[in-house]
Structure 1
Amino acid sequence: MTASESPAVSATEPDWSRESREGKGWSSGRSLLAAIRDYQAARGPLAWLLRASAVIRHRFWSVVTGADIPLNARIGGGLLIPHPNGIVIHPDSPIGPNCLIFQQVTIGAAAGGIPTIGGHVDIGAGARVLGPVVIGDHARIGANAVVLSDVPAGRTAVGIPARIVGEDRGNT
């Protein structure tokens, strides 16, 4: 593999190293995700204590980031939120593995439904994904796009309202 080539990012198998906080310094997005993961993973006789700790950390990091990502959000592994400021995610909206979500993104309910985000989807800053839409695997949503209809796998959506542009991105 040459330096210009990069390995394909999976739309089905989460890459948990993307969420790792070790050696990364200040990372409010990773810390917020860690609180959510800890809350969802709490089991056993001390689950109430582990969940209470996760809730406190989640509230702290939610205030620091200004993000509204519920503790019961359905988020696949390997999510990257490098700038979590202002991100809003509906608790019932499933997000596939290895996605990338930038600041000020809203994934929310409208028209009686919620979005479904596929695996390895990149969502640009300020984008809005609203209503009962399906975003296919390996799709990209441009910055400030307002997505109100489905985006096929491997395609790019831009504009207000969003329209499909460019070539199929395939599974890279």
Structure 2
Amino acid sequence: MFVILRYRFRKLQRKMCSEIGFNVFGKGLIIWHGQRIITNGEARVGDYCSISSGVVIGHGNGGAPHIGNNVEMTINSTIIGDVSIADNVRIGANALVVKDIIEPNTTWGGVPAKKISDHGTVENPVVA
């Protein structure tokens, strides 16, 4: 069964011009548009993340990214290198992340990525 599923998975990857490594993403992944998605097999992405077309999660500078839970990677965003990204972070379109993002619930954009908002993927955070 594994061989059949792997064949179907690779056929779908070729059709979508994408490369997605096995066991990179946690549970609840949402792929909005499956075209041109490239992920390194050593990267680790948490639960309930979402990605759009053109997203690159790549190896560089001696390691692969470690991405937290509920992270949204929008169109053509790129995360390269041995970086860590906190939970509930939104990465804007065409952003290039090359350093750690340690602040949860923030939005980042630009080349290289800089914080542009204190609102991440949690739309209405509960204030205690």
TM-score using structure 1 length: 0.67
**Structure ID, larger Rg:** 1
Give 4+ residue runs of structure 1 displaced > 4 Å after superposition.
Answer: none
Pick the aligned partner of 1:141 from 70, 77, 91: 91
Query: Does residue 1:157 correspond to 2:108, yes or no?
Result: yes
Q: Distance in 1 between matches of 2:33 and 2:121?
A: 26
Q: Is the 8 A contact 1:111 1:132 kept in 2?
A: yes
Aligned equivalent of 1:67: 18
Aligned equivalent of 2:67: 117
Report how many residues are paired.
122
Which of the two has greater strand per residue?
2
Q: Percent identity?
A: 30
TM-score using structure 2 length: 0.89
| Cα deviation digits, residues 62-98 of structure 1 (max 9, x gap) | 111111002x232101101120101011111111010
Q: Is the 8 A contact 1:73 1:93 kept in 2?
A: no
Which of the two has greater helix per residue?
1
Q: Where does structure 1 lack aligned partners over 5 or more consecutive residues?
A: 1-49
Q: Where does structure 2 lack aligned partners over 5 or more consecutive residues?
A: 124-128
Amino acid corresponding to residue 163 of structure 1 in structure 2 = K
Amino acid corresponding to residue 113 of structure 1 in structure 2 = G
Aligned equivalent of 1:32: none
Pair 105,169 (structure 1): closer, same or farther in 2 beyond 3 Å: closer
